Amino acid sequence: MVTDSEPLLRSRELTRASRHRMRRLLPVMAMRVVGDALAVAGGALVGFQYRFYLSGVPIPGNQVPSLHAYVLAVPVVAALWVLTFAFTGRYRVSLGQSFVDEILGSAGSVALFVVVALALEGLYRGFPYSRLVLADAAVAALLLFVAERALIRAAQGALLRSGWGGIRTLVVGSGPVADLLLRRLRMFPEYGYQVVGKVGTDPEARSVQGGLGVPHFALEVGLSRIVVRERADTVLLALSGVRHDRVLELARECLAAGVEVKVVPDVLEIMTSAASTEEVAGLPLVGLRPNRLVGANLLVKRAFDVVATLVLSIIALPVVTVCALAISISSPGSPFFGQERLGRDGRLFQVWKLRSMVKDAERGIGPVMTAVGDQRRTPVGRFVRRYSLDELPQLWNVLIGEMSLVGPRPERHFFAQKFADSVPRYRERLQVKPGCTGWAQVNDLRQASSMEERIFYDIYYVENWSLSFDLKILLLTPWRLLFHRHAY
């Protein structure tokens, strides 16, 4: 029976949960505010030094203005930056946001700051501040801001990996969706979700120490009771094949327990997050968006590939030359080799790589995927595979139009046939050209991960392609090459 006081009690619980979540995220917000202020202050001083001592631009009257006046302006400029970022919501901590998204998402705030700073400088008549100093200071502050946010993210990631400051999270669900979500959250603890347990929805589920490294609980125990006992802040509902009314019932139970609740779509059955909406006579219609790489988008992507590949080839050529020489010296055989792969629409093409294994590595055994401790790798091969340098010759495949810089990684025909029969929607990844890097790869899904996991990211890329998405993946790739844990 629901009493009149129950809504008030639930409101208090929600308020308490919000305060608990805020206490966990407040140190990160404080670090960002202080770090931004220091970055802007440092940028202002660097801008002054560069303009009047290093730039070589003539100084009116050949007299360097007083540094004191600029120092007095530093607190105002730093406060303006912080207020601008606070006004545009850039100090809200978004769990799961990548570093590239964080920086690119701040571009609008930086632009607004520059506009307001220029306007204030034009209105102020107490001292003739140099606009060149402001421009130099803005560039320096932006570089320091990127470095500062990278340091904060590294510190935050280290703390989260040690178990401090994470959002205590329960994953509710059984089946591949819940297991995939759980593996991803545990693979990247720096996203801030500290998984404290999995609540199984199968009738036979029992409270045990789970095989995925977290305690497993049975839903029949009572979700609200598990939430309170495990002191959860957030519940993620990853329910496969469950009636909508049951999902709503569990969501309400979480809200009544005073925790945040989020519903994960059944991605392995629907496999899309890109939807188009329209209205007919007041009735909303939702449609699933197909492959976006058609028509003009194909031309845009191809033009980008050609221009970017020409630039990257200049950078990659010395690296490829050194690696090829090292391979030739350390083991017999050509440093390059070609391998047949499946391209767009299932067309076969020859992909080029630096040889990382002994000559004729598959003689007598046939096609075999690389595994941990694979004895076929050469000493140099282990290094080039660890940092994906063996993939650099594929820039040639991009130039001649067989591949793209970004797209699903091409598979060998032998393995593709097996995946097509066992992995739902596998063939849809063949709607686009394969890529040198992809959305799955920058999410650390490589040899050790299953194709079922990788296919979700590949289909997401196909359905959500944009030039900015390609840029994001390319910017994330160098970072992932340095720190990924599943390449061998």
- Residue 288 has a pLDDT of 59
Q: How confident is the model at residue 97 (pLDDT cuts 50, 70, 90)?
A: confident
Q: How confident is the model at residue 447 (pLDDT cuts 50, 70, 90)?
A: low
Q: Is the pLDDT of residue 75 over 70?
A: yes
- Residue 290 has a pLDDT of 62
> Is the pTM higher than 0.75?
no
Q: Out of 333-337, 361-365, 474-478, pick the least confident.
A: 361-365
Q: Amino acid identity of 292?
A: R
Q: How far apart are the first and last CA of the chain?
A: 59
- Residue 405 has a pLDDT of 96
Q: How confident is the model at residue 19 (pLDDT cuts 50, 70, 90)?
A: low
- Residue 452 has a pLDDT of 75
For 452-480, what is the mean pLDDT?
85
- Residue 486 has a pLDDT of 55
223-272 tens-digit pLDDT: 888 988 888 888 999 887 777 788 888 888 888 888 888 887 765 454 45
413 with 340: CB under 8 angstroms? yes
Cα angle 341, 343, 349 (rounded to 5 degrees) comes to 50
145-172 tens-digit pLDDT: 999 998 988 887 777 777 677 788 999 9
The number of beta carbons lying within 10 Å of the beta carbon of residue 131 is 13
CA distances from 3 to 13, 14, 17, 253 (A): 16, 18, 22, 16
- Residue 126 has a pLDDT of 78
For 205-224, what is the mean pLDDT?
71
Q: Which CATH architecture has domain 167-270?
A: 3-Layer(aba) Sandwich (3.40)
Counting residues of the chain whose pLDDT is more than 90, the rounded percentage is: 26
What's the chain's average pLDDT?
Answer: 81
Q: Is the pLDDT of residue 274 over 80?
A: no
- What is the Cα 360 distance to its own chain's centre? 37
- Residue 141 has a pLDDT of 92
- Residue 326 has a pLDDT of 93
Pick the more confident residue, 176 or 289. Answer: 176
Q: Is the pLDDT of residue 187 over 70?
A: yes
464/58 Cα distance (integer angstroms) = 50
- Residue 24 has a pLDDT of 67
Q: Is the pLDDT of residue 118 over 80?
A: yes
For 66-89, what is the mean pLDDT?
91
Q: Which sign, positive or negative, has the C-alpha torsion 290, 292, 298, 299? A: positive
For 387-399, what is the mean pLDDT?
93
Q: In what order do the strands lie in the sheet with 167-172?
A: 208-209, 215-218, 193-200, 167-172, 234-237, 260-263
List the chain domain ranges.
6-161, 167-270, 296-483
- What is the Cα 80 distance to its own chain's centre? 29
- Residue 20 has a pLDDT of 60
Q: Is the pLDDT of residue 424 over 80?
A: no
- Residue 5 has a pLDDT of 41
Tell me the three state secondary structure of residue 297: helix
Radius of gyration of the chain (CA): 27
Strands 234-237 and 167-172: parallel
Name residues whose C-beta falls within 8 Å of residue 246's C-beta, 6 or more positions apart in sequence: 239
- Residue 423 has a pLDDT of 80
Q: Is the pLDDT of residue 369 over 80?
A: no
Q: How confident is the model at residue 464 (pLDDT cuts 50, 70, 90)?
A: confident
- Residue 289 has a pLDDT of 60
Q: Amino acid identity of 182?
A: L
Spatial CA neighbour of 333 closest among 314, 349, 315, 356: 356
